[in-house]
Structure formats: C-alpha cells, structure tokens
C-alpha cells in the first residue's frame, strides 16, 4: 500500500506544480514564447474594399478656383436637399419618449417590429410572417448574414459585374470564391444569362441579384427576372436578392420573391435609401421559402448568426411600425420624381458630350457613363480620367474600376438640381479639352 501511495504522489507531482497560494495547475507542455509575435488574422488580411482601395490611392486635389461637387458617395443626405419625412422623425421621437426601447432587443428583433415588416412586404404571391423576418444593423449586415448562412469556405457565389463591392469584400474574407457574371450595358444592364449559367458548378451556393442596381441604376423587367429565376431553378441555386433600392423606381419593379414559384430567396433591404436615413442602420432579411427548401435549419442558422453581435438599434425598431405605416405616399413620390428629373438632366447633358456614353437609369440613384478611352489618349483609364476631372474641374465621380468594370464612371444623382447642371457643364468642358478624334488610317483613306 505504501508503494502505491508513493507512486501516485510522484505521478501527481509530475503532472502538476504547486502555486504560491496552494492551488494546483497543469505543468506546461510547451515552452513559453521568447518574443512578441502578434499578427492580424487571415480574415483581416483577406478583407479588402475595392472602392476604398482605389479611391484611397487616387490623387484628389480639387481645383482651388472651383467649389467641389462630389458625385461619388451613395448617401442621399450629403447635400441636405433630401430630408426624410416629418412622420419618420416623429416616429423616432415617440420611440425615445416612450422609454420602452432603451434595453436589449431579441437578437433577431422585436416581434412587433418583425410583424410590421411582414405585413408591409407580404403579398399573395410571396406571403410573409414575423418568423420570416430577421432585423439587422443596416442592409450590409443583412447581406453579411445571408452570405454567411448559405456559404462555406471553398464555395463560390455569383455576383453581378458591375456590382456592389461589399459582396466580394465579405465573401473573400470568408474564403468564398467570387464569380462575376456580366451585365450588358447595351441591353440596359440586363444579366448575360448564358454567361451566368456557364459559371454555375457543384460548389455554387448562392446567386446574388441586385435589383434595382447599384451602380447601374437599372431595373430588370418582369420577363428578365423570370428568366433569371429559371436559371436558378434549373441548377437548384438559392438567390440572395439585394433589394435595398426596391420601390425607388420610375417604372414597375416586382420583387424576385413575388415571381418565384420554387427558388428560395433571402431578400435583403432596409430603411437607408427609400426613407433617406442611411445612418440609422436599420436593415432586414425577408425569408421566402414556400417550398421549405431552406427549412428550419437555415432559419435557425440565421438566428444563431444574429446572436454573435446584437444588430438592429432597439429605438429604431420601436419606431419601425410607425415609419412603415405612416410615411405618406407623397414622400416616396417626391423622392422618385426628384431622382428621375436629375437623371434625365444628367443623361441629356452628357449624351451630347463627345466621347461619353451615359446609360439612362430607371431606379436607385445612380447613372453609369461609358468613356470612349481611345478618344482620351491623355489618360490611362477610368481612374486616371476621374482623377484629372477632380484636379481640373473639382467634380468627383467614382471610377467604375471600383466595381470591376473599367472605362465607365458612376454618378450619384441626389445632388441639388443646380449642382447637377453645374457638374455636367464642367464634365463637358473637361471632355472638350481632352477629346481627340479618331486618327485616319490607310483603310479609311482607301474608302
């Protein structure tokens, strides 16, 4: 017996050491680090915002003799000419005064707020209940959660080109491959369906459809949406529908879910654009899954992801029902009317500028302009072109290389009308200065 206790003591002594206060700790198996070696994670290193990467590298020195006109930022509040409606502000004041929304909300949002959204967006073709709604911190978090729940590292997603840069930023950081499918400027930015379908393989976990489009300002017709849905249905690929600009259109714009008979859809939206409050960070995911393709597991996955960090602001959740139900139709109509008018001014002004090919938008708040770079030999590409436009004319348009679509630039049409006219005049002056006609070659002379 004594031998047993001696052996047991030696084993314990070998596995533990006695601390100064008498507690026991396991003996360290590995030696301690000899020097500091703290590095950023692979996720951090793989995170890149293409817009910031390009814009931060540009040499932007405005002409001191001309006040700056920034047509680059997709924020309708920048110039102060597009305030939100008074009913929206009052809803926020009432929510604050009630003192009911100062605490933590459920991770997916208050039931009352989710029910209000379900009622607002539900239709006979695409019915919704509160259980189909997840509230998020802006549409960006909604997109983040949707990609995260649908995709694993090594999967691939289909992203429109040109398209919103956030999709790639999020996907690449998570080890997800991005495949770009072309939009066709000559067809008002319709998707190239043959190209899209050619990219699908067994690891394709998500098709992203942005309608209305950022950066194009285009709106797909009902017939074109149905063709996209047929491709997704044929290959059993779910759709992430980025519909943050839904209803900000001058034409008919049905939601993807309202036209889908079998393709499951996660529709992402928010208050930011239609209600002109991007800083309020209120977004949502609407889960359309009538054939139970997603099932309870995916819904629970979204719930779990939303629990990582509590998202949507509780006060705005408290105001949401009133915002949805009490904002007058005239507010929406006035916003759409202004954007349509400014788009027409910009399109008409730039259509007569040699070397530029604007494409008339039908929604959102953007207009894309093609640059015939052969006629502008002073510049290496769209980044160089827009950089010099700032230097000479103090007009900043976003080069479409930021959307992986070179030789175009994007204009935000939310500026006051007089600034829109002034900016177009400066762009005309810039192009007239640098435009060069095509040089005649031998073939031209022979003809």
Q: What is the pLDDT of residues 193-228, one digit of tens each?
A: 999 999 999 999 999 999 999 999 999 999 999 999
Whether 314 and 358 share a structural domain = no
Residue 1 domain flag: no
Higher pLDDT, 379 or 311: 379
3-class SS at 446? helix
Q: Distance between terminal CA atoms of the chain?
A: 113
Q: Phi-psi bin for 208: left (phi > 0), alpha (psi -120 to 50), beta? A: beta
Q: Quick one: angle between helices 295-306 and 138-150, nearest 10?
A: 130
Q: Is residue 29 in a domain?
A: no
| 339 shares its domain with 275 | no
Expressed as residue numbers, the domain containing 342 is: 50-80+330-434
pLDDT tens profile 28-46: 566 778 899 999 999 999 9
The vertex-406 CA angle with 400 and 410, nearest 5°, equals: 25
| Pairwise CA distance, residues 27 & 265, whole Å | 53
204 found inside a domain: yes
| Residue 45 in domain | no
Q: Which one of 275, 295, 326 terminates a domain?
A: 326
pLDDT band at 446 (very low <50, low <70, confident <90, very high): very low
Q: Please provide residue 290's backbone torsions phi and psi, each rounded to the nearest 5 degrees.
A: -65, -30
- Please state the domain count of the chain: 2
Mean pLDDT computed over 274-297: 96
- CB-based contacts of 291: which residues, under 8 Å, 6+ apart? 262, 264
Looking at the fold, whether 321 and 339 belong to one and the same domain comes out as no
Domain boundary (272, 307, 326) is at 326
Alpha-helical regions (H) of 46-129: 50-55, 86-98, 111-121
* Two tokens, residue 63: 């002409």
* Residue 24: partners with Cβ closer than 8 Å, 6 or more residues away: 16, 17, 18
Domain presence at residue 347? yes
Let me know whether 226 and 205 are in one domain. Answer: yes
> Is residue 340 included in any domain, yes or no?
yes
Query: Which residues face 178 on adjacent strands?
Result: 157
Q: Tell me how many degrees the CA angle 276-410-174 measures, rounded to the nearest 5.
A: 80
53-84 residue pLDDT tens? 888 888 888 999 999 999 999 999 999 999 99
Q: Do the beta carbons of residue 404 and residue 166 sit within 8 Å?
A: no
Strands of the sheet containing 398-399, edge to edge, are 356-359, 366-371, 408-412, 398-399
Write out the two tokens for 357. Answer: 């090919």
Single pTM value for the model: 0.90
Q: Based on the domain organization, do 171 and 236 belong to the same domain? A: yes
- Choosing from 326, 350, 379, the residue where a domain stops is 326
User: Residue 169 belongs to a domain with what CATH number?
Assistant: 3.40.640.10
Establish if 382 belongs to a structural domain. yes
Task: Please indicate, yes or no, whether residues 290 and 340 belong to a single structural domain of this protein.
Answer: no
Query: Burial, 116: exposed, middle or buried (Cβ in 10 Å; 0-12, 13-18, 19+)?
Result: buried
């Amino acid at each position: 017996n004594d031998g047993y206790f001696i052996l047991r003591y030696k084993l314990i002594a070998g596995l533990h050491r006695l601390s100064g206060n008498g507690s026991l700790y396991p003996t360290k198996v590995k030696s301690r680090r000899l020097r500091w070696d703290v590095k950023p994670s692979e996720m951090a290193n793989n995170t890149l915002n293409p817009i910031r990467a390009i814009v931060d590298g540009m040499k932007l020195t405005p002409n001191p003799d001309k006040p700056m006109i920034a047509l680059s930022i997709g924020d309708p509040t920048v110039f102060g000419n597009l305030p939100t409606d008074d009913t929206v502000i009052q809803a926020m004041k009432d929510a604050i005064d009630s003192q009911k929304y100062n605490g933590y909300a459920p991770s997916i949002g208050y039931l009352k707020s989710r029910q209000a959204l379900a009622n607002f967006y539900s239709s006979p073709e695409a019915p919704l209940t509160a259980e189909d709604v997840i509230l998020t911190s802006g549409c960006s978090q909604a997109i983040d959660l949707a990609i995260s729940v649908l995709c694993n590292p090594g999967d691939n997603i289909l992203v429109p080109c040109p398209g919103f840069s956030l999709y790639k930023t999020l996907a690449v950081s998570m080890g997800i491959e991005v495949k770009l499918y072309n939009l066709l400027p000559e067809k008002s930015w319709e998707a190239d369906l043959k190209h899209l379908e050619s990219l699908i393989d067994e690891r394709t976990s998500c098709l992203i459809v942005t309608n209305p489009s950022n950066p194009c300002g285009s709106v797909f017709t009902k017939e074109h949406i149905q063709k996209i849905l047929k491709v997704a249905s044929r290959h059993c690929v779910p759709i992430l529908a980025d519909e943050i600009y839904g209803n900000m259109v001058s034409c008919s714009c049905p939601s993807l879910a309202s036209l889908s008979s079998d393709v499951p859809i996660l529709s992402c939206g928010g208050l930011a654009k239609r209600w002109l409050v991007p800083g309020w960070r209120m977004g949502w995911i609407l889960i359309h899954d009538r054939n139970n393709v997603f099932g309870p597991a995916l819904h629970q996955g979204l719930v779990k992801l939303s629990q990582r960090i509590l998202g949507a602001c509780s006060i705005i959740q408290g105001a949401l029902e009133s915002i949805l139900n009490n904002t007058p139709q005239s507010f929406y109509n006035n916003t759409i009317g202004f954007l349509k008018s400014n788009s027409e001014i910009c399109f008409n002004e730039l259509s007569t500028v040699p070397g530029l090919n604007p494409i008339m938008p039908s929604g959102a708040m953007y207009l894309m302009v093609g640059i015939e770079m052969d006629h502008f030999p002073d510049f290496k590409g769209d980044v160089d072109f827009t950089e010099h436009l700032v230097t000479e004319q103090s007009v900043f348009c976003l080069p479409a290389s930021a959307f992986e679509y070179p030789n175009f630039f994007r204009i935000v049409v939310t500026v006051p009308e007089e600034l829109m006219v002034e900016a177009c005049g400066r762009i005309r002056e810039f192009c007239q200065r640098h435009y060069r006609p095509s040089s005649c070659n031998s073939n031209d002379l022979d003809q």
